[in-house]
A = this chain, B = another copy of it.
C-alpha cells in the first residue's frame, strides 16, 4: 500500500492504475460511458442557431421529436418525424431557432421518452421534458452568467393556519448575507400542478434575478416562492407524502385557503429575513392559478402590496363560494384602487385559453377606472411567456 498512497513518479502511471481498476470492474456499457470512445452528443447546438438531435434506437420503427419551438397542439408541443441513418441512429435538425429555453421529448413507437444523451430535464406536473438554451437575448437572462449569484434556499416554515410545517424556496440577492441591509420582497406564485420547485427551475428565477440585478435593471430583492397547494407540505417527492405521481388538480385548489393562510408566509418571511415590511416594498405576482392568487391576495389584504403581477392569470371564479376571500370582490377591488398602488401589471398571450377572461377583466378595470399596465404577447399558456413577463415585471419594482 505504501506505493499507492506515497508520491508516484509520473502522473500517467497513477492515472492508468486508477483507470485500470475502474475498467476491470466495469461492464462494457459502463466502460463506454466512463471512458468515452465514439460518443453521441444530443442536442448539438450549432453556431447558426439550428439544433441537431440524435437518438440511437436501431430497433425503432418510428421516432418523433416534440419541441417547444414547434406550434403547439393544445398543451402539447408540436412534433416532427426523425430520420434513421445507416447506423440506426435517428436524427433531426431544426430550422434557425430564436434565442430561448426550449423543452422537448421523443416518441419512440408511441412511447414518450426523454433524450438519454441529455441529463437536463424539468418536471411539469408528472412529466419530464429535456431542455436546452439557444443563447442570445432574451435567453441570456436564463443562463448562468459570470455575475454575482444570490442564494437559493429550501426552507420550512410553520403555518399555523394549515397546521403544518411547509417548504418554500427563497432567493436572497447577492450580498444579502453580509450587507446588513434590508430588502424588498417579491412573492412569486406558481400555477395549478406546480409547487415551490416550478419558478426556480423552469422559471429560471435565480438566473433571471442574478442577471437583472447585475445589470442594474432590477434592484436587489428577495423572491419568495411558496407552495400554493394547501394540502401539500412540500413539492411531490420533497414532502411527507414521499414519491408519488403528481396530479394537475389537487383537493382544495383555489378554494380560498391559500389566500387566507398567506399571512403565515408573510409573517415567516418578515420575521426571518431582513426585509422592509411596508407596502412600498412588497410585490405579489403569479402565473395562471398564481395570477388568480395574486389578484385575490392583493385585494383581500388591503394596504399590503404596491406591486401586483398577473401572468396569464386564471381569472375564473374561486371554487368555494363560502370562502370569505371571494366575497365582495368589487368592493375590495375598489378599496384597493382607492388605497393606491404603484403597478398593477397584466400579461397575457394572444393564444392563451384565458385570453378572453383577461380581456374581460381589463374591461372591468377600465369601467371602474382602476389603473393597470398590460402586455399582450404572442403564444399561449406557456413558460416562455411567464419567464418573459417576469423579466418585464421585475425591473419595474421598488423604484
Docked pose: A193 CA to B118 CA in angstroms? 15
Give the residues in chain B near A74, CB-CB below 8 Å. 25-27, 30-31
Docked pose: A247 CA to B30 CA in angstroms? 12
Give the residues in chain B near A399, CB-CB below 8 Å. none
Asked whether A343 is an interface residue with its Cβ less than 8 Å from the other chain, the reply is: no
The residue among A125, A245, A326 with the most chain B CB atoms within 10 A of its own CB is: A245
Q: Are B26 and A234 in contact (CB under 8 A)?
A: no
Contact residue range for chain A? 35 or more
Asked whether A376 is an interface residue with its Cβ less than 8 Å from the other chain, the reply is: no
Q: Are A242 and B143 in contact (CB under 8 A)?
A: yes
Chain A residues at the B interface, C-beta cutoff of 8 Å: 1-11, 13-15, 17-18, 21-22, 24-27, 29-31, 33-36, 39, 41, 55-61, 73-76, 108-114, 116-121, 123, 125-128, 131-133, 143-146, 148-149, 151-156, 165, 167, 177-178, 193, 234, 236-240, 242-243, 245-249, 254-255, 272, 295, 314-321, 326-327, 329-330, 353-354, 357, 360-361, 363-364, 380-381
Give the residues in chain B near A55, CB-CB below 8 Å. 111
Q: Are B1 and A361 in contact (CB under 8 A)?
A: yes
Give the residues in chain B near A315, CB-CB below 8 Å. 1, 4-5
Q: Are A4 and B317 in contact (CB under 8 A)?
A: yes
Which residue from chain B places its CB closest to the CB of A73 in the assembled complex? B27
Q: Are A321 and B1 in contact (CB under 8 A)?
A: no
